[in-house]
Amino acid sequence: MSTDGKPLRADARRNRDAVLAKARESFDDGSFFELRFDDFARLAGVGTGTLYRHFPTREALAEAVYRGEVATLCERARHLQATLPPGEALAGFLRGMVAYIDTYRGLARTLATLMATGAGDLAEGGRELEQAVTDLVAAAVAEGAIRDDVSAGAVLVALHGIGAAHDRPGWRAEADGVITLVLDGLRRT
């Protein structure tokens, strides 16, 4: 969609997607805030007018990357919920989040910061992801796979804590261990 709500032409969509792809890469390698804003146009192979037409500010570009990542994570949660028993879907999502954080450390760190401190579209994305986790938790509770006295918010806090510790040596093994602890703690006894 364009900024005025109209569908984009195919070439305009390709250009927008190219800028988003380069921005996403720069988040992951840690250079997003080091690059001049106009550099995103050059890196994507588009003109600066194209960059500003789609993303008038660096913040607008960051928000677009963020919205895309949140949409992907929410879609993954819905897919797991639709294809696996509820307890397995929740476990798969949590383990998948650790893999996501491990693979896209820079991006995941930036997104977590944006979710925690953002307003408007950023806060909306946080609510969408929380709703996806709430749906997974509620389905697992309804199935009897997990306790009914733990909120989705607590699960998200655990994920946030895992992500915040990403710089520790041996982080991935420890993060996987924490997910195992969370899942064990959620199970009905």
Taking only the tens place, the pLDDT of each residue in 32-64 is 888 999 999 999 999 999 999 999 998 889 888
Q: What is the pLDDT of residue 141?
A: 95
Q: What is the pLDDT of residue 66?
A: 83
pLDDT 10s digits, 92-135: 999 999 998 888 877 766 666 665 655 555 566 678 888 999 99
Q: What are the CA-CA distances from residue 163 to residues 47, 81, 99, 111, 185 (Å)?
A: 36, 23, 11, 10, 19
Cα-to-chain-centroid distance, residue 11: 27
Distance CA 75, CA 55 (A): 24
pLDDT reported for residue 125: 67
What is the pLDDT, as a whole number, of residue 4? 56
Q: What is the rounded CA–CA span in Å between residue 85 and residue 145?
A: 9
Please give the model's pTM, rounded to 2 decimal places. 0.81
Q: What is the mean pLDDT of residues 143-165?
A: 90
